[in-house]
Amino acid sequence: MQVWRLLPLTTCLMSLVIVLCWRKSTLYALAFIFFFGTIESLYFSASLIKFREGAWVPLALSFIFLFVMYLWHYGTVMRYEFDVQNKVSVNWLLTLFGSSNLGIVRVRGVGVISTELVSGVPAIFSHFVTNLPAFHQVVVFLCVKSVPVPHVKPEERFLVGRVGPKEYRLYRCIARYGYRDVHKDDVEFEQDLVCSIAEFIRSDKAFVLPESSRIDRSAEEELTELTEAREAGMAFIMGHSYVRAKAGSSVVKKMAINFGYDFLRRNSRGLCYGLSTPHASTLEVGMVYIV
């Protein structure tokens, strides 16, 4: 009697695989849903007929799981919207780098800022700099994304760009993984990340002389500084968010965010697991999200 609870989920996920992963027509997915949906309807009707004889148990469990998944989705969306609304502009960051009156100190090494945003500066970085006015000589804003393909080629895994002028040594990197890719260990990940940034510096047209294929002196200095920073060590800065409902919210929202979603967050895996970062070089910065 409990088989029908798993069939709808499997059918929906399989239809998504047919369209997104196998690149088949939507008609195949609809035919798949129609065929197996008929079988699932029979299971569901049988459970309703035997409701008083014990079939209410799988129904109750299904609604509980549905509530938990909706609660997780709702909290995650609210947290992401807070990141988008409170992200710092690049101009603010450039002003921070260019000002000598704020007492900002650059330390040796590479600082990797983990973020879910593909543009702008995450609020966790401004929170970190405001409370501790120091950051590394090379800063990388890293965003890990999953793409609907089995594997991503190693040479296409990292998309690197520059944030601001080249003398600030600010980079943005998007790491793409397929659904069958295996995350490498921390040493290989650090090496691949630095190599992708170095390759970006070499291939940047702004640094290549038009009459020669040789890289000019500014690019050589940038590569040298990147190598020295890598040898000095890499630090991974992760954001640890505490989501709280804002004042004036309804009782239902406060219960859902302050207790339900907070419980799920505390019992779920963090970003460090997906990035395969070394624990000795990982720094978590706590920040309260008022949603």
Report which of residues 112 and 286 the model is more confident about. Answer: 112
Which pLDDT belongs to residue 280? 78
Could you tell me which of 285, 273, 281, 267 has the C-alpha nearest to residue 232? 281
Interatomic CA distance for residues 133 and 145, integer angstroms: 29
pLDDT over 90, % of the chain: 12
Whether residue 5 is predicted with pLDDT greater than 80 in this model: the reply is: no
Interatomic CA distance for residues 77 and 251, integer angstroms: 19
CA distances from 47 to 33, 62, 78, 168, 187 (A): 20, 12, 36, 64, 53
Q: Are strands 234-244 and 282-290 parallel, antiparallel or unpaired?
A: parallel
Interatomic CA distance for residues 164 and 90, integer angstroms: 7
Whether 110 contacts 136, CB under 8 Å: yes
What's the pLDDT tens digit per position in 197-237?
Answer: 999 988 875 445 555 545 577 788 889 899 999 988 888 88
pTM of the predicted protein model: 0.74
DSSP 50: T
Which pLDDT belongs to residue 207? 47
Label residue 187 by pLDDT band (50, 70, 90). Answer: confident
